[in-house]
Amino acid sequence: MKFIHTSDWHIGRQFHNISLLDDQRYVLHQLIDYIRQESVDALIIAGDIYDRAIPPAAAVQLLDEVLNTICLDLSVPVILIPGNHDSAGRLSFAANQLKQAGLYILGDLAKVAQPVIIKNKHESCCFYGIPYNDPEHVRHQFDVELTDYNDAHAYLIKQVHKGWDENQANIVISHCFVDGAEQSESERPLSIGGADRVSGDLFEKFDYAALGHLHGPQYKVARHIRYSGSILKYSFSEQNHTKGVTLVELENNKLKDFRHLPLKPLHDMRIVEGELESILQQGRVDPNFEDYLLVRLTDKHAILDAMGKLRDVYPNVLHLEKPGMMTETGTHEVDREKIKRSELEMFQDFFNQTTGNELTELQSKAIQQTISRLHHSKVHG
Ligand SMILES: [Mn+2]
């Protein structure tokens, strides 16, 4: 039995006001190719299907398109749970009817102990889906007393263990934050102050735990308790991640092996650091000039329209930082003389860049007087 575990699609996400829909379509087509090549028996999506509870129509259309191909054209069943970004209620529309088409949307907390059973010629496997929940949900649903995410998860998993057959292959799907796992900047905290962590030990008895929420591919506690990670980088903090999906293989009802299958993005997301001139030079010959970039300029002098110049060669510069400008004095202390001097220097840079000439002594003096006058009027005016 083979299945692919993926999570955190975040369809419809915007990044620095750019729609990532084409980027998402691009990698989801690679996922479809993997499903075809590896002839898998199921696809598991561990939450955060959409980026928002009410996704834009174009996002719904993309998901519809992808699920049609997988469930109908390839006849591969899909099992998914809502994440903290999804609305379980909305995502669960027509969930009962869709089962017949091989689309299992497990959005109902009351049904955590009812597995989806997937069979192939040789074996069968039980998939238990735990839709994203907070302690309040669980308290209300089951009328039990519990205070934190860990208690809530422990309670739900106990429900699963009550009715399961240990000799079967049992897979759990959950969207949660396993204690000690590594965060990225693109995950929305589940709760403030770390109360959202659940112990990885809770998943130990399963043959595999297909987790979602954290965007970096990783495992915690044991190798079979895994995050597949998101399908794309959703923040610059993820620049060194290799995004992908996890191919899981079972044999004789036990985990045999798994493999990270990489996804190649339409635009990579990376940080470029250096002086403007050298970045521009490199950009003119960079085959990946359309990547999404954060540029960190190390120049110590002011630059006129740095963003415009950079976008001439790298059209998708999304964010610009100028740490070089801050380190000039090595300190953020307010020193009037230093501020005055640096303002004059900035004007000299500006003048030089617009006219191509240096300031004459006379011009320099006039500007210096103007700056002083402005400072004076700020204090006394
Ligand atoms: Mn997520």
Q: What average pLDDT does the chain have?
A: 92
Q: Find the 114 Cα to ligand 1 centroid distance in Å.
A: 25
- In DSSP terms, which residues pair with 344 in a beta bridge? none
pLDDT tens track for 132-188: 999 999 999 999 999 999 999 999 999 999 989 988 999 999 999 999 999 999 888
Mean pLDDT of 263-270: 97
Given this model, what pLDDT does residue 340 score? 60
Q: Point out the least confidently predicted range of 20-34, 194-208, 300-314, 364-378.
A: 364-378
How far, in Å, is the centroid of ligand 1 from the Cα of 229? 9
Residue 85 CA, ligand 1 centroid: distance in Å: 7
Expressed in angstroms and rounded, the spacing between residue 129 Cα and the centre of ligand 1 is 17
Identify the band that residue 19 occupies on the pLDDT scale cut at 50, 70 and 90.
very high
Average pLDDT for 216-244: 95
Ligand 1 centre to CA of 213 (Å) is 4
Condensed to tens digits (0 to 9), the pLDDT of residues 72-122 reads: 999 999 999 999 999 999 999 999 999 999 999 999 999 999 999 999 988
**Domains of the chain in sequence order:** 2-262 (3.60.21.10), 268-328 (3.30.160), 332-381 (no CATH)
pLDDT 10s digits, 57-74: 999 999 999 999 999 999
Residues near 180 by beta carbon (within 8 Å), at least 6 away in sequence: 197, 200, 220
For residue 330, pLDDT beyond 80: no
Indicate whether 216 pLDDT > 70. Answer: yes
CA 340 to centroid of ligand 1, rounded, Å: 47
Give me ligand 1 centre to Cα 260, in Å. 18
Distance between CA atoms of residues 241 and 236, nearest Å: 10
Distance from the alpha carbon of residue 6 to the mean position of ligand 1, in angstroms: 11
Predicted local confidence at residue 326, as pLDDT: 62
Confidence of residue 338 (pLDDT cuts 50, 70, 90): low
Is 90 exceeded by the pLDDT of residue 334? no
pLDDT at position 378 over 70: no
Distance 352 CA to ligand 1 centre (A): 47
Model pLDDT, residue 337: 58
| Higher per-residue pLDDT: 304 or 4 | 4
> 8 alpha carbon to ligand 1 midpoint, in Å?
5
**Residue 317 CB neighbours (<10 A):** 23
Cα of 215 vs centre of ligand 1, distance in Å, is 6
Reported as a pLDDT band with limits 50, 70 and 90, residue 379 is low
Q: How far is the CA of 175 from the centre of ligand 1 (A)?
A: 9
Q: Which residue has the higher pLDDT, 352 or 276?
A: 276
What phi and psi values does residue 71 have, to the nearest 5 degrees?
A: -75, -45
Ligand 1 centre distance from Cα of residue 36 (Å): 26
Give the distance (Å) from ligand 1 centre to CA of residue 5. 14
User: pLDDT value at position 218?
Assistant: 94
CA of 102 to the centre of ligand 1 (A): 24
In the structure, what pLDDT confidence band is assigned to residue 335 with cuts at 50, 70 and 90? low
Query: Tell me, what's the pLDDT at 345?
Result: 83
CA of 51 to the centre of ligand 1 (A): 8
In terms of Cβ atoms closer than 10 Å to its own Cβ (0-12, 13-18, 19+), residue 277 is exposed
> Dihedrals φ, ψ of 129, to 5°?
-105, 130
CA of 179 to the centre of ligand 1 (A): 16
Distance 292 CA to ligand 1 centre (A): 20
Distance 332 CA to ligand 1 centre (A): 37
- Please check the confidence at residue 215 and state whether its pLDDT lies above 90: yes
